[in-house]
Structure 1
């Protein structure tokens, strides 16, 4: 059996096609090998801005002669910061704030003691901010016989939340209060924080809680 040789025309066509294919391959860019990404060095830890930058000033009873609400201090426990809701929440925010405070600081006082401390703490704060009822605590407000303009107006004054807890000893306690009020300049501010400290005293065989003097 004999095989017919390919025609010269077919051989020429194949040669041209192979040449074109070779030139196309030579003209293509070489494929770059994938590079292994270099892991970036871990970022150095950063310190988040203090929560106090977005919080109202924290207050404790200041030195004699100045209202407690006008003396900022940063020693209030940070749990207050995390429990504070946004400003301007109104009564709804007050209820949420009270729940948050109670969750942050579980009760650690007998119910009767807590009730007594809360009643006294609320009255002390109102007397300190508005000037009403200061004569009840002459040791705390020794300037009751002087004409002292209150730092905050009675109208608009509101205690938003309050809790009483031990203060490092069964015979010491602190009342944490969050409140709102309008100052002399007419500026209303809520989420103000004030602490009142108490010590347990015994009079005529009965124990009672006495607010600590500022002197």
Structure 2
């Protein structure tokens, strides 16, 4: 029985494969041999002679994936607010950065006139609440303002670091968000404290009044 002649295309492909293999062997540096594939037996033998590699070899001698910690996925970049916050204890020099953070995180949404009124009231309320100064001006907010009340924070060192006034879910409601620093009765000074004061708006005869709400 005679066999059919091989396809010319198959012969050409075989010749190309042999030529590539020959070029690869010629290009290998003299004396260098291809690296042998590591077998389970060779791995176990290496572990016996090199104790430092024993931790990577399981009891059955089977090769496992590398136990080096995988590269952790990159975390999301911190927000502008978090990245620009000054460290605790920065002092008054860090206050402008806190103010910029608040304004960037919560864009203004109130008329400029309302914002000025709310900021002035919010600052005064915070000072009265923390130091006891000026509580009598808001008897509805501070019912105990007529008696002697020991302030929670000393006047010395009290500082408002930043403040913004924004709408609070309604055109007739607003909140003043304040960041401040102060020393408590125990003598502990802490900055970047946060306090919110809420207001409601009433309009009578064309005059707008923002009324602070008692803190709950």
TM-score w.r.t. the length of structure 1 is: 0.63
Larger RCO, structure (CA 8 Å, separation 6 or more): 1
In structure 1, runs of 5+ residues without a counterpart are: 1-28, 52-77
Q: Give the Cα separation in 1 of the matches to 2:135 and 2:83.
A: 32
Q: Give the Cα separation in 2 of the matches to 1:190 and 1:179.
A: 6
In structure 2, runs of 5+ residues without a counterpart are: 1-32, 40-62
Q: Give the Cα separation in 1 of the matches to 2:214 and 2:154.
A: 24
Mapping 1:198-213, distance limit 5 Å: 198-213=199-214
Q: Secondary structure at the match of 1:85?
A: coil
How many residues end up aligned between the 2 structures?
A: 156
Q: Give the Cα separation in 1 of the matches to 2:178 and 2:35.
A: 71
Q: Residue by residue, what CA displacement relative to the aligned partner does 1:108-165 show, whole Å, maximum 9, x if unpaired?
A: 1100010000000000000000000001111100011221100001111100000111
**Structure 1 residue 37: deviation in Å?**
8.7
Q: Which has the higher helix share?
A: 2
Alignment counterpart, residue 32 of structure 1, candidates 15, 29, 36 = 36
**Structure 1 residue 106: deviation in Å?**
0.9
Q: Give the Cα separation in 1 of the matches to 2:198 and 2:118.
A: 9
TM-score w.r.t. the length of structure 2 is: 0.63
Residue 134 of structure 2 corresponds to residue 133 of structure 1: yes
Tell me what 1:12 maps to: none
Q: Give the Cα separation in 1 of the matches to 2:163 and 2:114.
A: 14
